[in-house]
A and B are shown apart, each in its own frame.
Chain A
Amino acid sequence: MAEPALALVQSSPSPARAQIAFDNVALTLGGKAIIDTISLEVAAGEILCVVGASGCGKTTALRLAAGLYQPTGGSVRFEGEPMRAPRREIAVVFQDYGKALLPWRTAAGNISLALETIGMRAHQREARAAELLAKVGLAGHAAKYPTEMSGGMQQRLQIARCLAQDPKVLLMDEPFGALDAMTRQGLQDEMLALVASTGATVVFVTHDLEEAIYLGDRVVGLLPHPGRVGLELTIDLPRPRDQLATREQPEFLRLRRALFDFIKASE
């Protein structure tokens, strides 16, 4: 594998301001190094997009951030504390919405699942679920089962369930990867609006480079075998972003070029 001629950028640790911090994180599964030392920080309220060729461990990195995996080296910290297990403040949006939703519960019931675990009373749950459904544009679909909804609607529902946790951090694993282009663009804008209103931190894994630039404040590119940070780009595009105007800006095109070159070199 040709080593790309790129300056390896590693963010210098400054734990005071970082909400999520990867400190020399390594993960070995079954004798195979999946991730070999990633150091990375995510500031509160930031939208960090993670891209990389397949096998670069981007999904694994997200699962480490969620506390679903424990690192075999280094440490993952949330607000300065080591992550030993998943935390309620950190919500995860899985790519396969069809598997992550409970098919035997209605839309309202699926949101209620998150509300039940925080001990909310039944009469409050109903109102809160309706409120969250309205927030993601699913008002009037409360009584529908997931299988009666389109893919885009199901993913919206999963996002609403995550919002029910009142999360400080949203970890999103290629959430729009399985959706068609139009639905995807619509959801990108809806997500940006939601995040802007809640102020949540977002770590967004995607294989769509344009999506990463369009959404992110920062884009991190990972190198494969084993996964490590190869590129870090600060996205200086004005917000709110616009599907047409933003994507036509010279800066957008420059970043797009840089990211494409990086991925190509890393493969």
Chain B
Amino acid sequence: MKWSVLGWRLASFAVAAGLITLWQFAADQRLISPVFLPGPDRAWASLMRGFTSGDLLTKLAGTLTHMAYGWLLASIVGVALGAMIGSSKTMRAYVAPTLELLRPLPVSAIIPVAIAALGLSQGMALAVIAFGSLWPMLLGTIHGFAAVEPRLYEVARVLHMSRLAVIFKIALPSAAPDILAGMRLSLTVALILAVVCEMLAGLDGLGQWVLLSARSFRSADLFAGVMLLGVIGYVTALAMDAAESRLLRWQAARR
């Protein structure tokens, strides 16, 4: 059992190493002009240079901040609103059609609207990121709260639990798997929108770094930025995994 896990790990590393070798080979043989494709060695060197000079660190911090604020705002609003809508059948009936209409809207399309209303500002970025990452969380929470086992509400009544206790001890833990699934999706959306906003509004961050590097044909810097964005996506997903397996330990018992 353990050996097979190890085997798969080794295999996945081998694939990654193979791809990087291929990349290096393509760059060395100049199959693609170095203006557009730097080798992994140059990209790595640029990454290190960016870190030592501190340039890239500021950009990284910028992107992380945009992402985190937008995502947190969306989480708070999404869970609170979702709990309200999800726990009331009447509310669901009234609000659901509107939500279905707004949900598939590509958020990038509302960026011009946000820029017109809020200017090329941090506030605009916050609004766009929060709006975009709101949906998976809102819909997840609504579904989670709507799907609470009715029997548990009866148990709560028989036990004379207070309204607050019912929300925090019954509804919220019951909806937690759906809420966390929404939060996971939102995390990706938040990263994408943070980059887009930085590109469009020239806000300090990796999006801006990547765009400016591309415009000035600094392909190594461009790739360094892209690599860093990949790392952000990967690490935040890992953190989410850890949070989920800790909060949803009881679901592991079910399997």
Contact = CB atoms under 8 A, between A and B. Distances in A.
Interface of A: 66, 68, 85-88, 90-92, 94, 96, 99-100, 102-105, 113-114, 116-117, 144-145, 147-148, 165
Contacts of A117: 159-161, 165
A90 B155 CA distance: 12
A168 B69 CA distance: 53
Name the 6 nearest CB pairs between A and B, nearest first. Answer: A99-B151, A145-B253, A104-B250, A147-B254, A104-B173, A86-B158
Interface in B169-216: 169-170, 173-174, 176
B157 interface: yes
Contacts of B155: 92, 94, 100
Residue among B158, B248, B253 having the largest count of chain A Cβ atoms under 10 Å: B158
Nearest to A94: B151
Interface of B: 149, 151-152, 154-155, 157-161, 165, 169-170, 173-174, 176, 248, 250, 253-254
Given A68-B157, A104-B176, A104-B250, A113 B151 contact: no
A66 B159 CA distance: 11
A104 B170 CA distance: 9
Contacts of B254: 103, 145, 147
B83 to A, nearest CB: 17
Given A102-B152, A104-B176, A90 B158 contact: yes
A102 B151 contact: no
Residue among A87, A113, A116 having the largest count of chain B Cβ atoms under 10 Å: A113
Contacts of B152: 99-100, 102
Contacts of B174: 102, 104
A88 to B, nearest CB: 5
25 contacts: A68-B154, A68-B157, A86-B160, A92-B155, A94-B151, A94-B154, A99-B149, A99-B151, A99-B152, A100-B154, A100-B155, A102-B169, A103-B250, A104-B248, A104-B250, A113-B159, A114-B159, A116-B165, A117-B159, A117-B161, A117-B165, A144-B253, A145-B254, A147-B254, A165-B159
Nearest to A164: B159
Nearest to A149: B253
Nearest to B255: A147
B82 to A, nearest CB: 19
Given A96-B151, A145-B253, A148-B253, A102 B157 contact: no
A10 to B, nearest CB: 29
